[in-house]
Amino acid sequence: MSILLGCVADDFTGATDLANTLVKAGMRTVQLLGVPRKGLKVPEADCIIVALKSRSNPAAEAVTMSLAALDWLRQQGARQLYFKYCSTFDSTDKGNIGPVADAMLDAIGADFTVFNPSFPTNKRTVYKGYLFVGDELLSESGMRHHPLTPMTDPSLVRVLQRQTRHKVGLVQYSTIVKGAAAIRTALDDLRKQGIRHAVLDSITDDHLMMLGEACADMKLVTGGSGMAMGLPANFIRQGLMKSGQRATLPKVTGATVVIAGSCSVATQGQVALMKKDHEAYELAPMAIAAGRDVAQEALDWASTRLSEKPILIYSTATPEQVQAVQDKLGREHAGSMVEETFGKIAKGLVAKGARRLLVAGGETAGAVVGALGVEGLAIGPEIDPGVPWTFSISEPPLALALKSGNFGTPDFFTKAFKLQ
Ligand code: ADP
């Protein structure tokens, strides 16, 4: 198998976001959790994304991880490479965006790439090299208070220049709107001036499509999810991929469970609605703290109820209830205890025959996927914006829907299974 696009993503949810963008643009996409072990059987795909957890690591560590991922993707025959970071350009003066991009360019023997975190759908835009979050400059947005990567300078040219010894340039909006040919000329001019990194303006998806076209022959492209939007069309134009491709993911049958560890407003509504006409088990954090084997209790409860009709196991609670638990146990401890319990429950459920799992909550999903030993996911159709069905690369194969807390319509939990 030879892939068209090989992506290195600096965190898991960012990788999922990118996967979703590429699937919608017609690429059969697989997301791997870290650099895969030797011998892992990866399904046929046009694009593979290696999801790392390297955004906030020391730069040298992030570089080592990213190069390992890059190396593996090149071995899969990737025609083009992509480095995905956050749409708010999360980084510090030490990195990791500059150092990782520089190391990747050196590794593939290239001397030029582009940088563009813009993602208009999520209100991230770049104008004259300044990054906007909604109506505010990056440095005036909540990102200025980020605990790990506070962004206090809105100029991407300056931010990136502090992370690299190579020259940083800019292709402005006035050129972008002229289309792909003009952009290509501007990129060539920068390169001839000895500039190695070009920040790109873009405000709309149309700009991203033109930028994607202009970067058709670039070995390494870097950006948020948005910048990748225009790349699949190049492969279609080059006759390497058919348009409107959809991965044919096998239909998974078997016992069906919803696990909700998110306490977000959307999940509270989804839990309340599902409880009306489905069996539900409430997981009590204080019982876990008291030393009861709550995972076993939940599994005993589930074992007589498992079927294709979904059942619900949840810890979802109101802010007041959560506060009361956190006051007694501490926020971190309460969270990790509940996550660990859900991990054990998920593992036990699969051992009892569960094959379709919907998990609500980002951290909760991470804990469940980890406990199940899932090494990768083939990305399927979207259920609601930002939440696709996925098919796990694990034994046994599972249908998994991993939902961030606040996503999805009120009937998401039951609607999802009708679409699988
Ligand atoms: P979201 O996507 O909504 O942020 P997460 O799963 O990422 O959801 O985070 C929810 C956190 O709250 C997890 O760490 C989870 O273990 C914890 N949690 C879930 N239920 C409770 C509860 N009833 N009391 C305290 N903490 C809880």
Taking CA atoms only, the protein residue closest to ligand 1 atom 24 is: 322
Task: Give the global pTM.
Answer: 0.88
Whether 361 is in the pocket of ligand 1, judged by its Cβ within 6 Å, is yes
Angstrom distance (rounded) from CA 22 to CA 94? 30
Compute φ and ψ for 115, nearest 5 degrees.
-130, 125
Whether 266 is in the pocket of ligand 1, judged by its Cβ within 6 Å, is no
Between helix 331-351 and helix 362-371 the angle, nearest 10°, is: 50
What pLDDT digit, counting tens, does each position of 32-82 carry?
Answer: 999 999 888 898 999 999 999 888 889 999 999 999 999 999 999 999 999
How many CA atoms lie within 13 Å of 139's alpha carbon, on the beta-carbon side?
8
Name every residue whose Cβ is closer than 8 Å to that of residue 403 and which is 6 or more positions away in sequence: 262, 267, 358, 359, 360, 361, 365, 387, 412
Name every residue whose Cβ is closer than 8 Å to that of residue 148 and which is 6 or more positions away in sequence: 56, 90
User: Which residue bears the tokens 């926020």?
Assistant: 331
Question: What CA–CA distances, in Å, run from 172 to 202, 209, 216, 363?
Answer: 8, 15, 19, 38
Q: What mean pLDDT is reported for the chain? A: 94
What pLDDT digit, counting tens, does each position of 116-158 carry?
Answer: 999 998 899 999 999 999 999 999 988 888 878 889 999 999 9
pLDDT in 10s for each residue of the chain, 420 residues: 689 999 999 988 889 889 999 999 999 999 999 999 988 889 899 999 999 988 888 999 999 999 999 999 999 999 999 999 999 999 999 999 999 999 999 999 999 999 999 999 889 999 999 999 999 999 998 888 887 888 999 999 999 999 999 999 999 999 999 999 999 999 999 999 999 999 999 999 999 999 999 999 999 999 999 999 999 999 999 999 988 777 778 889 999 999 999 999 999 999 999 999 999 999 999 999 999 999 999 999 999 999 999 999 999 999 999 999 999 999 889 999 999 999 999 999 999 999 999 999 988 998 999 999 999 999 998 888 878 899 999 889 999 999 888 888 999 999 999 888
Any bridge partners for residue 223, and if so which? 84, 116
Angstrom distance (rounded) from CA 315 to CA 156? 41
Complete edge-to-edge strand list for the sheet that includes strand 136-137:
124-127, 130-133, 136-137
State the Cα torsion 67-72-77-79 to the nearest 10°.
-30
Which atom of ligand 1 lies at the shortest distance from residue 365's CA? 6
- In a mutational test of the pocket of ligand 1, which residue from 265, 281, 294, 315 has the highest number of ligand atoms less than 8 Å from its CB? 315
Q: Count CB neighbours of 48 within 10 A.
A: 26
Compute φ and ψ for 388, nearest 5 degrees.
-95, 160
Whether 223 is in the pocket of ligand 1, judged by its Cβ within 6 Å, is no
Helix or strand (DSSP H, E) at 68: helix 59-75
Q: How far is the CA of 104 from the centre of ligand 1 (A)?
A: 36
